[in-house]
Structure 1
Amino acid sequence: MIRNPVLPGFNPDPSFCRVGEDYYLATSTFEWYPGVQIHHSRDLVNWRLVARPLDRAGLLDMRGEPDSCGIWAPCLSHDGERFWLVYTDVKRYDGSFKDAPNYITACETVDGAWSDPWHVNSSGFDPSLFHDDDGRKWFVNMRWNHRGPGSGCNPAHDAFDGILLQEWSPERGLVGEAVNIYPGTDRGLTEAPHLFKRDGWYYLTTAEGGTGYDHAVTMARARDIRGPYETHPAKHVITAKGTGGPIQRTGHGQYVETHWGRHYHSFLMGRPIPGPDGAGRFCPLGRETGLEEVVWRDGWLWLAAGGTVPREAVPAPVEVEPTAPAPVVRERWDRLPPEFQWLRTPEPGRIFRCEGDALVLTGRESIGSWFEQALVARRQEHLAYAAETVVEFAPDTYQQAAGLVTYYNRFKHHVLWLTWENGGPALVVASCPGDWPEGRLSYPAEPVPVGPGPVELRVEVDGAAQRFLWRQGGEWSQIGPVLDASVLSDEGGRGEHGSFTGNFVGMFAMDLTGRAREARFRRFGYRPGA
């Protein structure tokens, strides 16, 4: 069986691509560097991270970009010769404008060195590239309308002003007139267009309803690529709106016909759990990636099991055992392990280096910075987990700190750091529980003095509850109260449309004095099901 999600943790906006008997899922990374995650599978059950292609300044530089900006909704495709990757680097979130330049890069192999990008336009986001039978390439993206009420073509949301289509080539760029081919339905927030062709029809799928609990995959078709497009008889192929099952927030995906002759559609999803004291619901793992089997009936796609809500377990095209999650303990740092990323900067040498026996973080800006902060972390992939590390750090002022952090964004994080308080080194719990827009820290516990030498730090998370622990040659001791982990989610702070990435756990160092004091982390362990 295919067990949803197939990519647990922060892996949204899945572009689904087949090349022969190989399958790829490309997902958004927002402000995390390097940009775009590409996973590979040959059975649709087991997936392995094989590339993060946007790995140099010429392809991506996100310094100064706000939370939940950066890489939105990539599209991975193959034209028979090369892979093509289309992506948006969103520079602004709040306000009337998005400032969303769209780019295309290409590579003969998915894990190779991708070309310098072609800048295409900035008219909207969520672009894709369609390779037609005649060799022509078509660029498709939603159009963003900054003008306000009454000015757009969609009756539900003026800012989402339809889907644009325009021919593109590497030699000439955009060619001819841009045509608005689809206004969307009354669900609104029409975005994430993907085109494919079958039996003489051009099919368009879009995401609608926003990326929260009203999300959906909408389908339309036309005989001519420029339209007119008629909407699916049920409007939405996939949506969990108004249902109470374990899989929610479903939408934004792409169709693939497999070499086995069966058909599947990717989608993003959330798995909400109750908040503190059973109140509300939140998705601590952010927006994840799932797959569902689809069938053709009367020229339209439908979920194979009926309805519009994807299943947790889906029949796979081949019989294979899924890989069980296992603890991951990193004790060697010859290179940065593949599960780790950092924030925004294309100059990682300024914030960390690998020295074999230690990951060395160079203290830079604060944990709330949008420019250059030494934070190296991995995704939370389980509803319950434990993570621990060993840090060596010698602060001599409270403006220097290093430690263990659970991090969603600059407004939503909890951190246990080693700093300088009351005349000596001490452990301090600092928390920013969704305080937008100020981003003020609170300190729910008194500082705990520690002696010289390495200090072990640990965090345990179980649903909405989180606690920090520490030790220095003895038993583990809890420091501070049980913290609210539910804030570290899309629903925390501003709410589900205020931010939409995912939760990470990792290592952090800062030095606001400008002396770039270093912290050595000798081990990092992540264990599911603590």
Structure 2
Amino acid sequence: MPLVQNPILPGFNADPSILRVGEDYYIATSTFEWYPGVQIHHSKDLANWDLITRPLNRKSQLDMRGNPDSCGVWAPCLTHDGDKFWLVYTDVKRKDGSFKDTPNYIVSAEKVEGPWSEPFYINSSGFDPSLFHDEDGKKWFVNMLMDHRRRPRAFAGIVLQEWDPKSGKLVGPSKNVFKGTDLDLVEGPHLYKRKGWYYLLTAEGGTGYDHAVTLARSRDIWGPYEEHPQKHILTSKDAPFAALQRAGHGDIVDTPDGKTYLVHLTGRPTTQVRRCVLGRETAIQEAYWDSDDWLYVKNGPVPSLNVELPGARDDTKYWAEQRYTFDASIGLHKDFQWLRTPEPERIFEIKDSQLQLTGRESVGSWFEQALVARRQTHFSYDAETVIDFSPVDERQYAGLTAYYCRYNFFYLTVTAHSDGKRELLILASEASWPEGRLKFPIPEPVPLPQEGKVKLALTIRGAKLQFLWALEGEDQLKKIGPVFDASILSDECGGHQAHGSFTGAFVGVAASDMNGLESKAKFDYFIYRPVRDITDRYEV
């Protein structure tokens, strides 16, 4: 079989849930505060994947306005019961401090592309739930349990309870069936049945460099569950120099010919301080059932960078320049998302072959900001756009941003001085949690003509970011500002303490109008150009 390099879903694609229906494979991943919610990719061969839908796309299913950074949609679980697709997800409203608010929901659909149903609210007792369809037709809701009295960690174990799809409610007794191992922080459960055994796959160790996939089993769904002989079937915690780090939160799938694979999240750190700018990505490992009826990862438990898969990967599209134009009849390209709001018409529209952003709240707002961006999926790339924007003062600004969260972004803006004269200014917030201090890296703003389009660009080469610009009609881009440390656009610098930041770097366009005048920033196109950088340790 062909040898394929991990990850299979590069860039921010965390917490994979995998499913096979016939000859088709599907992976659902977390989207956190980015809208619409949940990414579902499709493949025929486990090697080549296409984004086909984001199912949580209306207000009744998901409204994340006010959700803090790295809250929102956590760890979806995608299953099929032979009749329809089921999707379980958490919309986290608060995660820091003494409590977590974690409402859990279930939606369903006849086809994976939708339409998806209105959600059933289940409970808020924990996060990362899954749905298990047993052979007798019963459906079981499997979830981690939060206990705010338990210190210093509030992770209390894995709880099992039957769910009735007719009433949309949990029924019967519930039981804490697995407290986890000494690694602690047990979460992300998936339940399977094979040869009379119930297998419980969980994530442990947090989302950082101690992350792991743990397996346990029982003859009875209620337990007791015994631990795997290796305890953790996948982890990089004891292999600090492995290419794939932070390996954990897995799910398994069988191929039609009986092979078994484990998908899992992973991170590829760069720089001396090990920062995962591309966030938590989805990787895959070949696994096998041994004579003791336990699952083992081939060459594990440390994940392999290269894995044999049924198909050979075609990287042509991955390395191709993506030039995005804007056509109202087609809509926004599927690569783009925005933040939190289920009312995108309030922050952008496609009109006159332009993407027109309506200036709303400040960059980094948790409620309503006009920011449209795509994932950074390469360690080195170029980005470029042309903006038409006529601000009246410093409270109106719009432009090109490399963005992680409210605490971590670089933003080249067209704005104006208090006297109304238009100018070019860089705004930067560099890993300044918890203060969120804004910096102005250039001594003086660059004056601009009062009217006319401006070309804005940036280059990222590993950990180095450089902004560039030019006036309309000028062929040569000019550098502006210093070379920034792009590695801060990472989970490790994401504005939280350990195990608190979960997304990845984005690049896109944004607009703010603090005067409440709804000024329009118009963008002609957007270019994302991958660059093969010989200093990149993952280049092939």
Query: Are the counterparts in 2 of residues 3 and 45 from structure 1 also a CA contact under 8 Å?
Result: no
Indicate the residue corresponding to 1:484 in structure 2: 485
Looking at structure 2, the residues matched to 158 and 212 of structure 1 have their Cα atoms a distance apart, in angstroms, of: 15
Indicate the residue corresponding to 1:471 in structure 2: 470
The reply on whether 1:175 has 2:171 as its aligned counterpart is yes
Query: Are the counterparts in 1 of residues 47 and 310 from structure 2 also a CA contact under 8 Å?
Result: no
The residue type equivalent to 1:457 in the other structure is L
- Which of 57, 60, 63 is the matching residue for 1:58? 60
Looking at structure 1, the residues matched to 211 and 316 of structure 2 have their Cα atoms a distance apart, in angstroms, of: 29
TM-score normalized with structure 2 length: 0.94
The residue type equivalent to 1:370 in the other structure is W
Query: Are the counterparts in 2 of residues 368 and 439 from structure 1 also a CA contact under 8 Å?
Result: no
- Which of 282, 287, 290 is the matching residue for 2:283? 290
> 1:471 offset after TM fit, Å?
0.5
Secondary structure at the aligned position of 1:63 is classed as: coil
TM-score normalized with structure 1 length: 0.96
**Mapping of residues 159-174 of structure 1, within 5 Å:** 159-172=154-167, 173-174=169-170
Number of aligned residue pairs: 518
Deviations 1:36-83 (A, max 9, x none): 000000000100000100000000000001001000000000000100
Aligned residues with identical type, % of pairs: 57
Looking at structure 1, the residues matched to 189 and 102 of structure 2 have their Cα atoms a distance apart, in angstroms, of: 16
Indicate the residue corresponding to 1:301 in structure 2: 295
Looking at structure 2, the residues matched to 43 and 460 of structure 1 have their Cα atoms a distance apart, in angstroms, of: 34
The residue type equivalent to 2:269 in the other structure is P
Secondary structure at the aligned position of 2:491 is classed as: coil
The reply on whether 1:270 has 2:267 as its aligned counterpart is yes
Query: Are the counterparts in 2 of residues 415 and 429 from structure 1 also a CA contact under 8 Å?
Result: yes
Indicate the residue corresponding to 2:413 in structure 1: 417
Looking at structure 1, the residues matched to 311 and 407 of structure 2 have their Cα atoms a distance apart, in angstroms, of: 44
Query: Are the counterparts in 1 of residues 387 and 523 from structure 2 also a CA contact under 8 Å?
Result: yes
Deviations 1:271-293 (A, max 9, x none): 0011xxxx311011000001111
- Which of 446, 449, 471 is the matching residue for 1:448? 446
Deviations 1:251-270 (A, max 9, x none): 00101111122110100000
Indicate the residue corresponding to 1:240 in structure 2: 236
Query: Are the counterparts in 1 of residues 4 and 312 from structure 2 also a CA contact under 8 Å?
Result: no
Indicate the residue corresponding to 1:312 in structure 2: 305
The residue type equivalent to 1:91 in the other structure is K
The residue type equivalent to 1:289 in the other structure is T
Looking at structure 1, the residues matched to 341 and 201 of structure 2 have their Cα atoms a distance apart, in angstroms, of: 33
Query: Are the counterparts in 1 of residues 88 and 131 from structure 2 also a CA contact under 8 Å?
Result: yes
Deviates more, 1:242-251 or 1:52-61: 242-251
Indicate the residue corresponding to 1:254 in structure 2: 251
Looking at structure 1, the residues matched to 312 and 531 of structure 2 have their Cα atoms a distance apart, in angstroms, of: 27
Looking at structure 1, the residues matched to 185 and 388 of structure 2 have their Cα atoms a distance apart, in angstroms, of: 48
Gaps of 5+ in 2: 533-540
Deviations 1:279-310 (A, max 9, x none): 31101100000111101111111112x23111
The reply on whether 1:190 has 2:186 as its aligned counterpart is yes
The reply on whether 1:148 has 2:150 as its aligned counterpart is yes
The residue type equivalent to 1:166 in the other structure is Q
Indicate the residue corresponding to 1:154 in structure 2: none
Q: 1:222 to 1:503 in 2, by over 3 A?
A: same
Looking at structure 1, the residues matched to 441 and 296 of structure 2 have their Cα atoms a distance apart, in angstroms, of: 51
> 1:332 offset after TM fit, Å?
2.8
The reply on whether 1:330 has 2:331 as its aligned counterpart is no
> 1:331 offset after TM fit, Å?
2.0
Indicate the residue corresponding to 1:152 in structure 2: none
The reply on whether 1:88 has 2:97 as its aligned counterpart is no
CA root-mean-square deviation: 1.2
Looking at structure 1, the residues matched to 266 and 119 of structure 2 have their Cα atoms a distance apart, in angstroms, of: 30
Secondary structure at the aligned position of 1:281 is classed as: coil
Query: Are the counterparts in 2 of residues 2 and 291 from structure 1 also a CA contact under 8 Å?
Result: no
Deviates more, 1:445-454 or 1:224-233: 445-454
**Mapping of residues 363-402 of structure 1, within 5 Å:** 363-402=359-398
Query: Are the counterparts in 1 of residues 150 and 156 from structure 2 also a CA contact under 8 Å?
Result: no
Return structure 1 stretches of 4+ with deviation > 6 angstroms: none
Indicate the residue corresponding to 1:225 in structure 2: 221
> 1:356 offset after TM fit, Å?
4.9
Deviates more, 1:172-181 or 1:52-61: 172-181
Deviates more, 1:67-76 or 1:415-424: 415-424
The residue type equivalent to 1:512 in the other structure is M
Query: Are the counterparts in 2 of residues 31 and 65 from structure 1 also a CA contact under 8 Å?
Result: yes
**Mapping of residues 15-164 of structure 1, within 5 Å:** 15-149=17-151, 158-164=153-159
The residue type equivalent to 2:263 in the other structure is S
Secondary structure at the aligned position of 2:492 is classed as: coil
Secondary structure at the aligned position of 1:253 is classed as: strand
Deviates more, 1:96-105 or 1:431-440: 431-440
Indicate the residue corresponding to 2:535 in structure 1: none
Looking at structure 2, the residues matched to 318 and 415 of structure 1 have their Cα atoms a distance apart, in angstroms, of: 40
> 1:495 offset after TM fit, Å?
4.7
